[in-house]
Amino acid sequence: MRLAPTLCLLLCIPLIGVQPNVVLIMADDMGWGDLGCYGSKQNSTPHIDRLAREGMKFESFYATQAVCTSSRCALLTGSYPNRLGLGGTALPPKSKVGLSTDEQSLATLLRNGGYRTGIVGKWHLGDHPKFLPPAHGFDESLIVPYSNDMWPVGYFVGDKSRKQMYPELRWIVDGIPFGAIDDWADMDNLTVMQGFRATKFIRDNARSGKPFFLYLATSMPHTPLGASKDFKGKGPTPYAETLADLDDVVGYVLSALKTQGVENDTIVIFTSDNGPWLNFGRHAGVTGGFREGKGTTWEGGVRVPFVVRWPNMIKRGISTPALAANIDILPTLIAACEVAGPVKPIDGQSFLPLLQGERLTAREVFAYYYGDRLEAIRQGRWKLHLKHDYRSYDDMKPAEHAGAPMKTQVKHTDLALYDLEADPGERTDVHATHLEVVARLQELAAKERAALDAGKRPVGQVPN
């Protein structure tokens, strides 16, 4: 007898007991090497480092695509974003497309399962009312609709380059515009404001009798950088100051969980939407030795920090090399929270058995798309780059003003094979000496491509 997928999932879930709360924190444009727990000697991140000490740290965790909208689409739907028409994009203001309401987001699934749901921070899945958080399962929302550089003030004081490009950057509360981020003082206080609202959500819901889901998607450390008065001008770089401010907010969130007595009943996740935007120099993060950065399928663009703490369920201080990606967060959390999964097929795979110590691995294969182009594929230690052009941050000339972007180049890679265990920086192409591996991965790539193409679904659109 065959069981329906959702029924099968529910029957296979361990009897965990009380549904855990979930706090999912996602930074913007943070590099793999930016946190102390990932080796940074420059940035002060004691609260995030504490999460790693008290939980599990992933060494091979991936953003599904190395750009804002696409990564957030993957996170909230468990699907490759190009399957849903949102690959390779950072949606502009007044976009005519966005995340379709036909998709069941993580928030929708958790709300259907009895959770109180909230989002604070950057949304970037469409700013038309039909695309905003209330249409995607969020009971409460305080958002910035897109990236904080999509505003008319510029990248630095006196910059006029963006004045004619963008409207004012609005706050949107429960789907209603409310106030704006008008100047550099507002930008400096952006992280604190998002942290204040996040802790309020915890205080308001911790003792409500219902489990809660908080998605805190910080606007920082995406450029233009801002930092509150406690950190502004006090760090080795502007980026370090911004990161210290963000880490401080993480500390307040953790403190709120403890004060409200729900620390041991809450899954806390910290990650980034993609790698660093390297052409902003001292205003950008670092990859920790991986090649290239944001907007590429080299490891520096898509390999991101990921730490998860779940007291009494995950052993403390574990570091895992297991391969996983942000499309896997949705199926993992719905399994952990014991709620029904989405009706439509998704690409994510639950790594709950890994978190609970029942397995040492997660997914076996990861496909690296940018836009709708399959640029690379990984299986185990092997990563095969297919022929493609890419953005390169090599040999950039300094910008005229601090905080302004340097110019990138367009480069090309032919078919290239890398052993990520021996060569995580992707410096030595070994395809000529491993032709059998190349052939196997080419065949695997073709199957992945065909499977995605066969299951594409319409992007959300604004009616004409």
Residues forming the active site: 68, 124
Tokens matching residue 260: 């409200």
Residues paired with 320 in a beta bridge:
58
Beta strands 266-272; 21-27: pairing state: parallel
Write out the DSSP string of 68-117: HHHHHHHHHHSS-GGGGT-TT--PPTT-SEE--TTS--HHHHHHHTT-EE
Q: Report how far residue 388's alpha carbon sits from residue 63's, in angstroms, rounded to the nearest whole number.
A: 19
Measured in degrees and rounded to the nearest 5, phi and psi for residue 319 equal -120, 125
Torsion sign (Cα): 84, 85, 90, 91 = negative
Read off the tokens for 62: 């991936």
Token representation of residue 314:
């995950």
For 410-424, give the DSSP string.
EEEE-SEEEETTT-T
Query: H helices of 141-237, where?
Result: 184-188, 190-205
Q: How many Cα atoms sit within 13 Å of 214 on the Cβ side?
A: 31
Q: What angle do CA 394, 398, 404 make, to 5 degrees?
A: 105
* Longest CA span, the chain: 69
Which helix (H) or strand (E) is 315 found in, with range? none
Query: Measuring CA to CA, which residue among 225, 111, 117, 127 is closest to residue 175?
Result: 127
